[in-house]
Amino acid sequence: MIPFRIHSGRVALLDRANVDTDQIVPKQFLKRIERTGFGAFLFHDWRYLPDGEPNPSFSLNHPRYRGASILVTGKNFGCGSSREHAPWALVDFGFRAIIAPSFADIFANNCLKNGLLPVVLGDTQVAKLGARARENEDYEVTVNLEECTVTDSQGFSSVFAIEEFQRQCLLDGLDDIGLTLHLEAEIAAYEIKRPAWIR
């Protein structure tokens, strides 16, 4: 997993509440066995018209948001089913952080295990970031996990909370497998001391 420490990037605004995981990556695309390649299907039913052409009215199709790596969105983002494919799709599309007033619990946990930082800020703060993304071309913010802050060049500054264990895992780039391998010496020492199975 790629460590997350300090990330500055362009902001894309998805001004919708209660975005569920079936909209993030629709069920018909959950057939791949690897974690990559899901970015092409991100928000598929909103991004594309029935004929397969990009939907010009969908915000993430606007040229000003091209290359965005920070998503600002509405409350309860990631509700619905617990599919881990949703953060896979967001990461594969290029997002490193999502800022919202709230997230569905399972979705937020899946994000943290895949190097995607869900940042909870207040409604007023999220609205301010959204307005700046809408009004300013190439609007960027900096998400600093070392100091747990979100800032921009226009004077916005806010702190956010994250559980310390999850924060440290992101800082070190450790998912569940990485955490286990991090304890490889202790595991090997235990295995040496463990009695052999009696046949």
Identify which of 155, 25, 31, 157 has the alpha carbon closest to the alpha carbon of residue 90: 25
Tell me: the pLDDT tens digits for 154-185?
999 999 999 999 999 999 988 777 777 777 77
- Give the mean pLDDT of the chain: 92
Integer Cα distance of 114 and 70 in angstroms: 15
Integer Cα distance of 152 and 143 in angstroms: 9
**Which pLDDT belongs to residue 13?**
97
Q: Is the pLDDT of residue 152 over 80?
A: yes
**CATH code assigned to 6-172:** 3.20.19.10
Q: Where are the domains of the chain?
A: 6-172
What sign has the CA pseudo-torsion 186, 179, 80, 42?
Answer: negative
| Higher-scoring residue by pLDDT: 184, 138 | 138
Q: Is the pLDDT of residue 198 over 60?
A: no
Tell me: the pLDDT tens digits for 46-104?
999 999 999 999 999 999 999 999 999 999 999 998 899 999 999 999 999 999 999 99
Show the tokens assigned to 124: 């007023």
CB of 158 within 8 A of CB of 149? yes
Q: Is the pLDDT of residue 199 over 90?
A: no
Q: Which H or E element spans position 72?
A: strand 70-73
Integer Cα distance of 15 and 109 in angstroms: 22
Cα 89 to the center of its chain, rounded Å: 9
